[in-house]
Amino acid sequence: MRIIHSSKEMQNAALELRRAGRRIGFVPTMGYLHEGHLSLVRLAQQHADVVVLSLFVNPTQFGPQEDFSKYPRDFARDEALCRDARVDILFNPTPEDMYPEGHSTFVEENALSRGLCGASRPGHFRGVAIVVAKLFNIVLPDVAVFGEKDAQQLRVIRRMTRDLGFGVRIIPGPTLREPDGLAMSSRNKYLGPEERIQALVLKRSLDKAVALYGTGERRAEVLHTAMVAMLKSAPLARIDYVEIVDDETLERVTVIERPALVALAVFIGKTRLIDNVVLRQPT
């Protein structure tokens, strides 16, 4: 496995690979890898000849009161996991390399990014869009894999990729869960023992929505009320949002007539967790 820290060196390596006719698969991460990330690597390997994984805790997607300085980092651990997963290139740039002095250019998506986490975390998707745009220009991938757990991010990146003509195929990777159902996340590390137990209420609330939908209930308000009641049964849970939106436009729906994204963000203690499920008629 080759480790690259310079964006210029990474771009030169990508250009050499493309000239040689090699397909590049890309898995962008913020590090502190877990099995969910590694499943994205395996998916990229199915669609490409060479897989590049980036480790970069992107400062522009964190708000001033958020956990950028405390976000978990362990390069040695991540490097070992990447070697075991047969990653070909590990790209680990510095903030100074990605955002040189005087950096003043950003990318904004102004439709899909307005609600959900975009409303709760102003500026978050502006930071996501610019870093992914920069990474696409540096890594020059043919395909890029993003996890479905970050549902809104996946849709924003798809839209940005289309609108700006990057020519990168975006492949979604299914959400991986712990044996008890908690969605895998680097932030799970923050949870204390009792918080870890109560965090399972996120999956239970989504399961409640799925169950109601399965009985034929199509009124979003009914599903929303049931989910909120379930979340409030956990004393340590503080709801940021619970939303039922059109899966394509991310606009709120009152009656579920097309595939709908059920998305939530909940604080368990001080840790903000997200999860989601898509409701659709069986084919």
Once rounded to an integer, what is the mean pLDDT over residues 31-39? 96
- Average of per-residue pLDDT values in the chain: 97
What confidence tens digit (pLDDT) does each residue in 192-201 have?
A: 999 999 999 9
Residue 202 contacts residue 264 (beta carbons within 8 Å): yes
Query: pLDDT value at position 282?
Result: 81
Query: pLDDT value at position 46?
Result: 98
Q: Name 268's bridge partners.
A: 237, 271
Helices (H), 215-281: 220-232
Q: How far apart are CA 279 and CA 260, in angstroms?
A: 5
Q: What percent of the chain has pLDDT over 90?
A: 96
CA angle, residues 278, 282, 283, in degrees to nearest 5:
120
- Whether 245 shows a pLDDT value over 80: the answer reads yes
- Whether 103 shows a pLDDT value over 90: the answer reads yes
Q: Is the pTM here over 0.85, yes or no? A: yes
Once rounded to an integer, what is the mean pLDDT over residues 139-151? 98
What confidence tens digit (pLDDT) does each residue in 53-80 have?
A: 999 999 999 998 888 988 999 999 999 9
- Whether 237 shows a pLDDT value over 80: the answer reads yes
Query: pLDDT value at position 70?
Result: 87
Q: How far apart are CA 261 and CA 114, in angstroms?
A: 15
Domains and CATH numbers, the chain: 2-173 (3.40.50.620), 186-275 (3.30.1300.10)
Main-chain dihedrals φ then ψ at residue 230, nearest 5 degrees: -65, -45
Residue 126 contacts residue 60 (beta carbons within 8 Å): yes
Burial (0-12, 13-18, 19+ Cβ within 10 Å), 65: exposed
Query: pLDDT value at position 276?
Result: 98
Distances (CA, A) of 85 to 23, 88, 108, 145, 185: 18, 9, 33, 15, 18
Catalytic positions are 37
Query: pLDDT value at position 280?
Result: 95
